[in-house]
Each structure stands twice: as structure tokens, then as C-alpha cells.
Structure 1
Amino acid sequence: MRTHYFMFLLVSFLFFSLFSLSHGAPVGICYGSVANNHPPASTIVSLLQSNAIQTVRIFNPHPEVLQSLSNSGINLMIGVPNEMLPSLATNSVEFSVQWLQSNIFNHFPATQIKYLTVGNEVFIKDPYNTQFVVPSISNLHKALQTLNLDQMIKISTPHATCVLANSFPPSNGTFNPEILPQMIPLLQYLQQNDSPFMVNVYPFFSYINNRKDIGLDYTLFNSQGVMLDNELYYDNLFDATLDSFVAAMDKVGFRGVRVVVAETGWPTAGGEAACPENARMYNGNIVRRALGDVGTPMRPGVGVEVFLFDMFDEDEKNGEEYEKHFGVFGLNGIKAYDVSFT
């Protein structure tokens, strides 16, 4: 009898272990559209489904994209353009309801929407509109309440890492004091509504801009050494960056707000260290850590949902040449390098 009991415990342990491994943090992909050569939106559903990609981030609610993905079983993070924030913030809740209906719900079922992102990196790249972020979120939230969708669709806004005044070592993470008047009410909203704090994290940019202090191996999860910070060990820049945000939120009284990485990736061309092998190594490790619920040193075992950037190269992007070469897939739908989403 005892033998059967222990066998039962063993089988149960193995079952739940396998279940947890196969149900880690979600991994999605960004679908940028700053290009003139992308395949038609109608063709991407089969590409996403064949690669078991279940969540996609789009930066604007393009009707063609929404209609193509409608009823596909693929969930979306849908961006609200920065330029819409003043109107959403200063008009009535009914205005927000009408905007949602005409721009999103008339083209796409609400049941497939996971997140609304109000602007992108507004606090740093669009200072004028910073004042409108939280009022816009508030009005959109009330609009979702009116439509009985507020529990299903979570609202947030993605941040660049430079909203931090200090990020090294991670335990010293603090927000830029100039943005605290807007950051505090945002964090209050996120905490009260179980919405995530969203960040765009690019160790590649950190390496390119600071080769003197940041090693390539440290950005690629390939470091042989570790950094010790408050008895926690860091062997990669991705973890260190996320925990800098965790520490910054803790310092202003918002412990426990979950973090979602709304963008991360590595270019395949266009500059030093930008190559398919490094992209494969970086994104492969990002996916494995998410699916394995690895977490970070400050939050071990707490899986971090991530969105890889980008589905395709974007040939019309401004900036350095590598900005155009983040595509995981070629225009023919073939992967630029070997990375699995499962």
C-alpha cells in the first residue's frame, strides 16, 4: 500500500512538473509596420499559428491587421498612438467608448484583446504628452467598465529604460525624479487594477553605447562571471535591468507590481555584434527563461512575459542601420535564425 502511495506521489510530481514547464510565462512577438515591403497582413496568421505564437503586439490599431487576425485565436496587445492621448484625456468617457468601438471593436473581437498600451515610451520620448498618460488610461478604463470589459483587458504604457535615474547595481534602481509626479499615479493605477508595469529592454543598445563597461557575453547570457549585489548574483544584463525596475518600484512603495517586457530583441545586421548568431543566442535565451518561469534574482520563479521585437525587418525606420534589422522572420516567412516559441 505504501509503495502505491509513493508511486502516486511520484507520478503526481512529474505530471505537475511537466505541466508547469509547458505553461510558463507567455512569449509573444511585435508586429512593427515601418516598412514598404511587408507581406499582406492577411498572410501572417498562418505564419503565427505555424510557430505557435499566441500573442502579438501591434503599435497602432490598423483595421487591415485587426481584421486579418480577427477570430484567429491569436491575442493582441494593441497600441493607442501617442498623438491620441490629449483627446482621450480631455474628452468625456463616451469619447473613449466611441474611439474604442470605431478603431478596435468594429474590426476585432474584444475577447482576443489582452492589453491596451496607451502610448509608447511617452515619459522620455514625448514629454508634452506625459501629462495625458494617466488621464487617458483612466478614461479608457472607465470606457471598458461601461462595456463590461475592464476585467478582461488590462491597460498600461511601455517605458524606455531611461526612465530610471539609476540602474546599477540593480538594488540602486530609482526613477528619474522629474517623472515621479506622473509615475506615482500610474503605479497606483497599475497596482489597484492588477495591470503590469511594461518596459522595453534592449541589452544590445546598452552594449553598443557603453562597450567600455558592458561586455558582449554579459548581454548574451554567456558570461562566465557574475555580479554580486545585496547577496544576489547577476550573470546577464537582462535580469539586472528588470530588477532595477523592481527596486525602483519598491522604493516608491509599489512592491509586487508585475513586469511585462513589451519589447526586446537583437538585430541581425547593421553594426557591430548585430548578426544572426547573436540574435539567435539572445532571443533563444529570452524564450527559454520565460517558458521556464526562471524569473530574476529579486523575483526567482516568477516568469516574465516577453514580446520579441520584431516579426520582420522594417526598412523605413530612422536611426542607425541596425534599427532596420530586428526581424525574426524573413519576408518569405522563413526564420532568420533558429528560435522556437515553445
Structure 2
Amino acid sequence: MTELLLKCYIAAQSVGVCYGVNGDNLPTRQEVVDLYKVNNIGRMRIYYPDEVALQALKGSSIELIMDVPKETLQSLTDANAATNWVNKYVTPYSQDVNFKYIAVGNEIRPGDNEAQYILSVMTNIQNAISSANLQIKVSTAIDSTLITNPYPPNDGVFTNDAEQYIRPILNLLMKNGAPLLANVYPYFAYAGDQQNNIPLSYALFTQQGTNSVGYQNLFDAMLDSIYAALEKVEASNLQIVVSESGWPSEGGIGATIDNAATYYANLISHASGGTGTPKRPGVPIETYLFAIFDENQKQGAETERHFGLFSPDKTPKYQLNFN
């Protein structure tokens, strides 16, 4: 395969979509997998080992991130329990389902009770996967609250609490050649900017030219602040996979159909375009859009229920080209 063809292939494969199920009005798992197929969405993230979804994914070739939910973390600190988990939810499907990553916990923060379990469970799950001769990487998904001084991006650093928590996790990732998963949401940075320092155009990828520190969009700035933090803890060779990013269509500041459509279209183009970020130029950014559907039972702020790319009846909210 020529270098150009390889680059085109990588770019075409670089955008996935997260599949949450916190709604009482959503299509069947098989209908959802078919929706991914017809829209050329080549990657999916699910938030727990959903065996009905795994059955539907068989033979689809869709690359999959599957989470270990926080409710089961403590039990999997036992190595035998972790092996049983892999033998139940991964090994039987591994011939027909394209597992890419197992995400041990989503947005677990240093002060959370579950933080004490992450490293042990990652180790146990990776050992069980290796014992089964499977080529699946184990990681965990962080959020931007672990980073302080994010602007300018080169000043990004882990908070004191986060550094103690994350260092052994990063060491394990580097040892196993796995990426760090990170949920990157310019929307929340924009909506939470009380001083109005963040222009909407900067958050939506529509700003013309770069700012005083060389950035054209907030997504790259946030991502590079995490890379800067990694450099400061001797983990500069780690790759970051953006395991969630999205923009709500209603329910909060700047949450409109037009803004969300602009954000998703521009993120797809940017992530798959191969330009990378100023700190990691020339590399497509493996990115998972959040999320496939609006979820009417989602807890929290009103915006949480309006991140869907599709309505529950499977009609698209936006005209997006995923490939």
C-alpha cells in the first residue's frame, strides 16, 4: 500500500461515534449497527459490555471501544474476576467483533472512590487479554479537569492530585503501547467562560487565522494542553485518542442546531484531514463524536440530553459526511 493510500485509509477511518443508551425511545441494537453501516461510521464506543450490541456487531468490521463501567471496577481488582470478565464479554466475540480498546472507567477523577481501582483493573484486564492471545489495548478515559494552566497550551500540566493518580497509569500505557483516551469538549469550555475570552468562532473551528499563541481552534488547544501535561511527566510519546467530543443542539449557552451542525462537520473534517495539532502535526486525530442519539433519560444539565447526531427515529439532525 502506497504512503498516500495509507494516509487516505487512516483519514477515512479516523472518526467514530459513541453509542449511549440512556433513552426510552431508542432503536434496537441491530437497527443502530445498521445505521452506523449505512452512514459509513467505522468506529463505535459503548459504555458497558452490552451483549445484545455485541451480537449485532458481529461481522460488521466496526472498530469498538468497550468500557468497563465504574460500578464493576472494584470487583475486577481480583485477577480471577477480571479473567472471567474477559472470558465472558470479550473472548467469545473476538473472532467476529473488532475490539480496539477496552476503556477501564470513564472520567474517573483522583478524588473519586473508584480512582483507587483503575490501575489494578487495567493491569488485570490487559493480562487476561494477553493470556487469550488477543490484540486489544486497555486504557482509561480522562477529562480536562485533570489539567490545569491549559492556556497557552504549552503550559498545560496535571494538577497535583491528578499527577499522583495518573503517573502509574501512563507508565502502564507506555509499557503496553496503548494510547491515553481523553474526552475533549470545547463546548463546556466555551459555555463556562464567564469572562467571554473564548470567541464562538474559535470553539466552532470557524476562526480565520491563528491567535497570539498559534492556535486556530479550541479543540487543538485543549488537546495540546494534555500533550503538554504528558511531556511534563515523561510521557511525551503517548498518543491521545479523543474518546468523546460533541456540541449540544439545545439546553444551554450556545447550544443551537446551527452551532452543533457547524461543530460536528468541522470536527470530522479536521480530525480526519491529517493536519493534526500544532504539537502533533500531520497526524489524523482518532476521534469519537458524542453521540449517536439524543438521550432523554440522561442525568444532569438539560444539554446532556441533546448531543445526538440522530433523532431516536434515526433521522439525521445534521447533514454530515462521516467518510
Equivalent residue pairs, number: 321
1:172: Cα distance to partner? 0.3
1:320 counterpart residue number? 301
Identity %: 36
Distance in 2 (alpha carbons) for counterparts of 1:217 and 1:331: 29
Query: Aligned residue for 2:33?
Result: 45
Matched, 1:137 2:122: yes
Asked if 1:214 is matched to 2:195, the reply is no
2:141 match? 158
How far 1:184 moved relative to its partner? Answer: 0.7
Using the alignment, how far apart are the partners of 2:264 and 2:58 within structure 1?
27
Q: Write the letter of the residue equivalent to 2:124.
A: N
TM-superposed deviation, 1:71: 2.1
Match of 1:253 among 230, 234, 241: 234
**Which segment drifts farther, 67-76 or 181-190?**
67-76
Match of 2:243 among 262, 275, 285: 262
The structure with the larger Rg is 1
The match for 1:190 among 163, 166, 173 is: 173
What is the CA deviation profile of residues 175-218 of structure 1, one whole-angstrom value per residue up to 9, with x for unaligned ones?
A: 01112222111111111111111110111111111152211111
**Shift in alpha-carbon separation, 1:340–1:241, aligned structure 2, 3 A:** same
Report the Cα distance in structure 2 between the residues aligned to 1:35 and 1:311, rounded to whole angstroms. Answer: 12
Residue in 2 aligned with 1:67? 55
- Write the deviation string for residues 236-285 of structure 1: whole angstroms up to 9, x where unpaired: 11000010001000011111210100000111122232122211211111
Distance 1:224 1:72, change over 3 A: closer
Matched, 1:175 2:158: yes
CA distance in 2, matches of 1:337, 1:215: 23
Q: Distance in 1 between matches of 2:190 and 2:123?
A: 37
**Equivalent position of 2:211 in the other structure:** 227
Matched, 1:127 2:112: yes
Gaps of 5+ in 1: 1-11
Q: 1:289 matched to which residue of 2? A: 270
C-alpha distance in 2 between matches for 1:176 and 1:332:
43
Partners of 1:234 and 1:341 in 2: CA distance: 25
State the shift of 1:64 in Å.
1.4
8 Å CA contact 2:139–2:181 kept in 1: the answer is yes
Conserved in 1, the CA contact under 8 Å of 2:62 and 2:97?
Answer: no
1:74-117: CA deviation from partner (whole Å, max 9, x where unpaired): 2210000112111112x12x321111222344456475100100
User: 2 CA distance for matches of 1:68 and 1:130?
Assistant: 32
Deviation at 1:18?
5.8
Deviation, structure 1 residue 129: 1.0
Match of 2:186 in 1: 203
1:21 is matched with 8
Partner of 1:243: 224
Distance 1:108 1:275, change over 3 A: farther
Aligned to 1:102: 88
Letter of the structure 2 residue corresponding to residue 20 of structure 1: K
Name stretches of at least 5 consecutive residues in structure 2 with no aligned partner: none
Q: Is the 8 A contact 1:67 1:108 kept in 2?
A: no
Q: Is the 8 A contact 1:66 1:104 kept in 2?
A: no
2:317 aligned partner: 336
Amino acid at match of 2:21: S
2:263 maps to amino acid: Y
Q: CA RMSD in A?
A: 1.8
Are the aligned partners of 2:252 and 2:303 in contact in 1 as well (CA < 8 Å)?
yes
Q: Any conservation in 1 of the 2:15–2:268 contact (CA below 8 Å)?
A: yes
TM-score norm. by structure 1 comes to: 0.89
